[in-house]
């Protein structure tokens, strides 16, 4: 699947404008929110076109699909920054540790230990966010809010990881205020854990997608993960 480059450029600019407007509306500086372009299901060519417009950070859900694109685009200048945002089973941690720059979905110590053990020595520590099940959605992955500080304390000790923050995927809710309320819970937890850890690099709250990025920014997100609004609709669920 491929998009024409002008459509991708216009879409990217529209998302940047949404983020800027949301920052202005909540009196935040425009550079306090990072855009992660979620390229799952789209081609390396589409990523290349969005990168040519200045976008650096890209998110992938399916690890093998992501690795294929990382390899295809490894000579990009400046280098792209790749984020694993999909579920991670133990048998996939090695690929993540060897190829990605970030992992957003760590929710067990065992996975974190494997990522640290498997991170190649010549690479910088892998940036990690802990995925939190902030709204108690039953089918979802993510650690319970009450258990986050204990896991964060252990993950922060792992030598080849840099614990950067928290990540959430709340179930969709109707209405701006309701969306803000869910995201605000995540922000409160983030602030609490940050204060307890006393870890300067703990600076990332990954939340907000195409449908709710304004609410996420209002509540204090520092990184929104946007797929559909940049690349268009996906033809398979992901
Ligand atoms: C697909 C996905 C996104 C992007 O979703 P859109 O609604 O297309 O913006 C963000 N985060 C995660 C974890 C995803 O799986």
Q: Is residue 1 predicted with pLDDT exceeding 50?
A: no
Are 54 and 13 within 8 A, CB to CB? no
Distances (CA, A) of 178 to 44, 134, 146, 205, 221: 36, 14, 22, 19, 15
89-139 residue pLDDT tens: 999 999 999 999 999 999 999 999 999 999 999 999 999 999 999 998 776
Rounded Cα gap, residues 166 and 193, in angstroms: 9
Ligand 1 site-directed mutation target among 46, 172, 227, 233, most atoms within 8 Å of CB: 227
Our answer on whether the CB atom of 84 is closer than 6 Å to any ligand 1 atom is no
Token output for 93: 């941690």
Query: How far away, in angstroms, is 122 Cα from ligand 1 center?
Result: 30
Chain-wide mean pLDDT for the chain?
95
Beta partners for residue 81, in sequence order: 57
Mean pLDDT of 50-78: 97
Cα(226) to centroid(ligand 1), Å? 6
**Model pTM?**
0.96
Domains recognised in the chain with CATH numbers: 5-231 (3.20.20.10)
For the CA of 229, the closest atom of ligand 1 is 9
Per-residue pLDDT band at 2 (split at 50, 70, 90) = low
Q: Tell me the per-residue pLDDT of 7-39, one tens digit each, with 9 for 90 and over.
A: 999 999 999 999 999 999 999 999 999 999 999
Q: What is the model's pLDDT at position 158?
A: 98
Please list, in sequence order, all residues whose beta carbon lies within 8 angstroms of the beta carbon of residue 110, skipping any fewer than 6 positions away. 90
Mean pLDDT of 52-80: 97
Query: Cα separations (Å) of 39 from 4, 126, 157, 162?
Result: 15, 20, 31, 24
Helix axes 148-155, 176-197, angle to 10 degrees: 50
Q: Is 226 in the pocket of ligand 1 (CB under 6 A)?
A: yes
- Sign for the pseudo-dihedral over CA of 33, 97, 67, 87: negative
């Amino acid at each position: 699947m491929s998009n024409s480059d002008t459509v991708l450029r216009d879409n990217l600019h529209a998302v940047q404008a949404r983020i800027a407007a949301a920052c202005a509306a909540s009196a935040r500086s425009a550079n306090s929110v990072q855009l992660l372009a979620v390229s799952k299901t789209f081609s390396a060519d589409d990523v290349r076109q969005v990168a040519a417009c200045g976008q650096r950070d890209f998110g992938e859900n399916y690890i093998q699909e992501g690795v294929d694109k990382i390899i295809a685009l490894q000579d990009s200048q400046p280098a792209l920054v790749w984020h694993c945002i999909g579920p991670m089973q133990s048998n996939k941690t090695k690929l993540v540790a060897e190829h990605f720059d970030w992992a957003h979905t760590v929710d067990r110590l065992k996975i974190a230990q494997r990522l640290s053990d498997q991170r190649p020595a010549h690479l910088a520590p892998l940036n990690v966010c802990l995925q939190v099940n902030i709204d108690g959605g039953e089918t979802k992955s993510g650690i319970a809010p009450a258990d986050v500080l204990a896991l964060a304390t252990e993950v922060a000790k792992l030598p080849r990881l840099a614990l950067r923050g928290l990540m959430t995927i709340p179930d969709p809710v109707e209405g701006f205020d309701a969306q803000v309320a869910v995201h605000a819970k995540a922000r409160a937890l983030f602030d609490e854990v940050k204060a307890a850890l006393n870890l300067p690099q703990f600076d990332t709250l990954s939340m907000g997608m195409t449908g709710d990025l304004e609410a996420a920014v209002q509540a204090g997100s520092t990184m929104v993960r946007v797929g559909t609004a940049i690349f268009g609709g996906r033809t398979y669920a992901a």
